[in-house]
Amino acid sequence: MSPHTVSSPKNRPKYYDLNLRNLPTPGLVSIFHRITGVAMFLFLIPMALFILQTTLSSEAGFASWKGYFAHPLVKLIVVGFVWSFMHHLFAGVRYLLIDLHIGIAKAPAQSSARVVLVAGLVATAVFAARIW
């Protein structure tokens, strides 16, 4: 192992503020980007594959998933993952724009973060209205 992997022996003070209300909007977008990404990795990837498999394998499998999706609790979970997906997507597009040096000043970065939060919620609301 190289000496670079050994961490600094100095105990520097750490100031953690885990209260999300004190986080600036770009920080909120960032932490939600991370949480939604992990949630989709853990649950959405295997579930999506499983659903794709059963809905394509037979008419009965398709019908049974149609039945599950009619259940209010399942709808709520689906809406949760739709928000995860939409937030992750909009936040990702924002990062792509920032990579292209679009909106990197403080004021546009803050307003684009607000746009991402609102767009994710609006897209989710439109979806929820459609399935209810």
Partner 1 sequence: MKNSKQPVGAHYGWKDWMIQRVTAAVMLVYSVLILGFFLVHGTVAFADWKQLFQSQLVRILSLLFFFAVFYHAWIGVRDVLMDYIKPFFIRLSLQVAVCLFLIVCSIWTVSILWSN
- From 16-24, 74-82, 93-101, 106-114, span contacting partner 1 (CB under 8 A): 93-101
Q: Which one, 17 or 99, has the nearer CB to partner 1?
A: 99
How many residues belong to the site for partner 1 (CB under 8 A)? Answer: 21
Based on the shown chain and the rule CB under 8 A, indicate whether residue 49 belongs to the binding site for partner 1. Answer: yes
Report whether 126 contacts 119 (CB < 8 A). no
Residue holding tokens 């939409």?
Answer: 86
DSSP string, 4-19: GGSPP-----------
H or E segment and range at residue 107: helix 106-131
Based on the shown chain and the rule CB under 8 A, indicate whether residue 34 belongs to the binding site for partner 1. Answer: yes
Find the binder of partner 1 among 27, 53, 71, 126 (CB under 8 A): 53
d(CA 52, CA 128): 21
Q: Which one, 43 or 108, has the nearer CB to partner 1?
A: 43
Given CA atoms 119, 125, 128, 130 in this order, what sign does their dihedral have? negative
Based on the shown chain and the rule CB under 8 A, indicate whether residue 96 belongs to the binding site for partner 1. Answer: yes
Find the binder of partner 1 among 20, 31, 76, 93 (CB under 8 A): 93
Q: Which of 98, 132, 126, 129 is nearest to 112 (CA)?
A: 98
Contact positions vs partner 1 (CB under 8 A): 34, 37-38, 40-41, 45-46, 49, 52-53, 55-57, 59, 62-63, 89, 92-93, 96, 99
